[in-house]
Amino acid sequence: MTLMHETEVIIIGGGATGAGVLRDLSLRGIRAVLLEKGDITSGTTGRNHGLLHSGARYAVKDIESARECISENRILKKIAGHCIEETGGLFITLPEDDRQYHEQLLSRCLETGIDAVEIPVSEALKKEPGLNPEIVSAIKVPDGIIDPFRLTSANILDAKEHGAKVFTYMEVCGIFSSSGKTTGVKALSGDGSVHEFHGNIIVNAAGIWGQRICLMAGSELKMLPSKGSMLIVDYRINNTVINRCRKPSDADIMVPGDTVSILGTTSMEIPYDEIDSPFPENIEIDMLLREGERMVPNLSKTRALRAYSGVRPLLAPEDSSDGRNITRGITLIDHKSRDGIDGLVTIAGGKLMTYRLMAEMTSDLVSEKLGKKTSCRTHSLPLPGSEKVTGNIRKFYRDISNSVVGSTMYRHGKRIFNILKNDRKNFRLICECEMVTEGEIEYALNNLDVTTLIDLRRRTRIGMGPCQGELCSYRAAALFNEYGKASPHESTAMLKDFLEERWKGIKPVLWGDSLRESELTYWIYTSLFGLDELPLNDTEREEK
C-alpha cells in the first residue's frame, strides 16, 4: 500500500538550508513538506565547526561571500540569539606567516564593511592567554559561534507551528514528471512503507547529495566532494575564535563550542561514492594537532575527544578540483531555464552562515513560479526561543540550581518555560557534562522530531561532553521507554547504536586517556550491563 500526500512545495534535505526554506515558505503561507533521508542535521550541517563567520576568512579572495557573511552575521544575531555566542574572533600572524596577508586582510575587511581592527599583541595575549606568545600581530573581527543543531531545529519548529510538515527517515527514490514538469516524488520510510508526495514545486536542498536528486529528474549537476575533518578536545581551551592569518589552509582555525574546542579543518577531494561515510584519516589528525599547536601550544596537553568529517556541498567548476579554490558562493538553479525541466529548483553552494539568505532566494523564486506575491519575513522574526525575555528568570526557578537554569536557557532561550518546571523529576540531571535534565529530554521527545537516541544528542547535546555518553546514554535510553517512545528492547538496541556511533568518532584518536576511557566504557556496557548479549538484529545477522 502506498501512502499519498498532497502539498504545494516538496523540500528535499533536512539540513539548515532545507529547514530555512521550509520556515520561509511557511511564514509566507505556502504549504510545504520537508523530506530527510536520515535525521535533520545528519549531513553536512551537523559536521562543521559551528563558526558564525564575520566574513573575514573570505575577504581577501571572495568579496561577495564576505559581504554575504557579515550581512547574515548581523541578522542571525538578531533572530537566532539563543543559538549564538558572540565570542569575537582573532586573526593571528605567526613569525613564518606572510605579513603582507595581514595588511590585505585588514584592508579588504574594511572595504567590505567588516568591523576589523588591528590590536596590540599584548591585548590579544590578554584576551587569549593560551595563544602562542610568538605571534607578531593580531586583528580582531566579529566572529562568533553558532550551534547548527539548535539553529536547524528552531527553524523546523517554527515551520511546523506555521503548518509545515516534516518527514525524517524518508528517503526519496524517484521523481514523477509529466510533459516536462515534475509533479512529485516517491519515497521510502524507515519502517519500509512507500509514500508519494505530490506538489507544484520540488526544492532540491540536499547539499552534496543534490547531484543524485538531479539525476532522478534527468538533470546533470556535477558536485565536487571536498572532505573536511575536525578534531574536538575535551575542554574549552579558547573562548575566542582563533584564526591563522594566512591564505586558507589546513588547521587554520580553533572554535570554542559549548564545553569543548574544535580544531579544523582539512580539505581533501574524495570520490563521490564515499560521501555517505566520510572518515578522518590519521594523516589529517596528525596535521591538525601539529598545526594547531602553533596557534595554541597548550593543545598538546589536552585530551583529544573525537574526530569527525563532513563533505562540503561545492559545485564543481570545469577548471579546478581544489576545494579551497572554489567559491563558497550561492547557486540557485531554476531547472526550467537550465534544462527544460519545470517544477524543479536546486539551491547549492553557500555555507551554514548563509543558510537564511539561501532560503530567502529560493523562496522568492518558488513564490514567483507559483504566481504568488509574497515577501520574506525571516530576517526580522525571531526563531522560537530567541524572543526577548524580560525580567529575572531566576524568580521562576528558585529551587533549581543556576547551572541547570543557565544551561537550559542557553540551549532553548525563552522556550525554557515550556521545558523547566519546579518538579524534582523534571529537573533531575540525565547528563552532567552538558547539564541536560529529564524535562529537556521529555520536551525533545514530544516536540523536536526525535526518533532515536542519536537524534536526541543533536537536540540536547546529551553525550557530547567529556564522557561522550558513557554515564548518561543508558539513562536517556530508559526515558524513551518511560515516555512511550520505544519498547524496552528497542530502547536497549538504540543504546547500542548510540555507543557504536560515538565509537566511530573516538576511534581515530584512540590513545592515552581516550584509550583508557574507551576500555572503561566497554567494560561497563558489556561486563556490567551485558549489552553484547542482546539478540542480533536483521542487519547484524546478515553481517554474520
Confidence grade of residue 327 (pLDDT, cut at 50, 70, 90):
low
Res 283 pLDDT > 90? yes
Give the residue-averaged pLDDT of 258-263: 91
Q: What pLDDT score was predicted for residue 522?
A: 86
Antiparallel, parallel or unpaired: β 344-349 and 201-204 = parallel
Any domain includes 58? no
Question: Is 492 among the domain residues?
Answer: yes
Q: Are residues 7 and 129 in the same domain?
A: no
Residue 385: inside a domain:
no
Do the domain assignments include residue 53? no
Q: Does the pLDDT at position 194 exceed 90?
A: yes
**What pLDDT digit, counting tens, does each position of 332-361 carry?**
999 999 999 999 999 999 999 999 999 999
pLDDT at 280 over 90: yes
Quick one: average pLDDT of 406-429? Answer: 93
- The number of angstroms, rounded, from the C-alpha of 195 to the middle of its chain's C-alpha atoms is 27
| pLDDT recorded at residue 321 | 46
Average pLDDT, integer, range 478-505: 93
Sheet bearing 9-12, strands edge to edge: 165-167, 32-35, 9-12, 201-204, 344-349, 330-334
Quote the CA–CA distance of 374 and 516 in Å, as a whole number: 58
- Same domain, yes or no, for 110 and 153? no
**Residue 393 pLDDT > 70:** yes
pLDDT digits (tens, 9 = 90+) for 199-215: 999 999 999 999 999 99
Is 253 found in the same domain as 110? yes
Which of 268, 293, 315 delimits the end of a domain? Answer: 315
What CATH number does the domain containing 299 carry? 3.30.9.10
Contact indicator for 352, 45 with CB cutoff of 8 Å: yes
pLDDT of residue 530: 85
Which of 513 and 195 is assigned the larger pLDDT? 195
For residues 156 and 139, state if they share a domain. no
Which H/E stretch holds residue 380? none
Q: What is the pLDDT of residues 51-101, one digit of tens each?
A: 999 999 999 999 999 999 999 999 999 999 999 999 999 999 999 999 999
User: Do residues 155 and 171 share a domain?
Assistant: yes
120 and 229 part of one domain: yes
| Confidence label for 441 from pLDDT (cuts 50, 70 and 90) | very high
262 and 282 both lie in a single domain? yes
Backbone angles phi, psi at 534, to 5 degrees: -60, 145
Model confidence over 217-226: pLDDT tens digits? 999 999 989 9
3-state secondary structure 114-136: CCCEEECHHHHHHHCCCCCCCCC
Percent composition of the chain: helix, strand, coil (DSSP 3-state, to 5)? 45, 20, 35
The amino acid sitting at 73 is: N
User: Whose CA is closest to 155, among 29, 39, 17, 11?
Assistant: 17
Question: Which class for 260: exposed (0-12), middle (13-18), buried (19 or more C-beta within 10 A)?
Answer: buried
pLDDT tens digits for range 240-256: 999 999 998 999 999 99
Q: pLDDT per residue over 150-177, tens digit each?
A: 999 999 999 999 999 999 999 999 999 9
Do 133 and 153 lie in a common domain?
Answer: no
pLDDT at 539: 52
Residues 165 and 154 in one domain: yes
* Average pLDDT for 406-418: 93
315 falls in which pLDDT band (50, 70, 90)? confident
Q: Is 228 found in the same domain as 218?
A: no
Please report whether residue 384 resides in a domain: no
Domain span at 202: 2-44+149-222+328-370
CATH number for 191: 3.50.50.60
Considering the domain architecture, whether residues 336 and 461 belong to the same structural domain is answered as no
Question: What is the reported pLDDT for 536?
Answer: 57
- The whole-number average pLDDT for the span 382-387 is 96
Q: For a pLDDT cut of 70, what percent of the chain falls above it?
A: 96
Is 432 inside any structural domain? yes
Quick one: pLDDT band at residue 323, thresholds 50, 70, 90?
Answer: very low
Q: Is residue 237 a part of any domain in this protein?
A: yes
In a domain, residue 386? The reply is no
pLDDT tens sequence across 101-130: 999 999 999 999 999 999 999 999 999 999
* pLDDT of 538: 54
When the pLDDT of each residue in the chain is averaged and rounded to a whole number, the result is 92
The count of structural domains within the chain is: 3
Q: Are 264 and 356 members of one domain?
A: no
User: Is residue 540 classed as helix, strand or coil in its secondary structure?
Assistant: helix
C-alpha torsion sign, points 141, 142, 144, 150: negative
pLDDT grade, residue 542 (50/70/90)?
low
Confidence tier at 324 by pLDDT (50, 70, 90): very low
6-37 pLDDT per residue, tens = 999 999 999 999 999 999 999 999 999 999 99
Q: Give the Cα-Cα-Cα angle 126, 130, 133 (nearest 5 degrees).
A: 75
DSSP per-residue letters across 448-478: S---SHHHHHHHH-TT-STTTTTTTHHHHHH
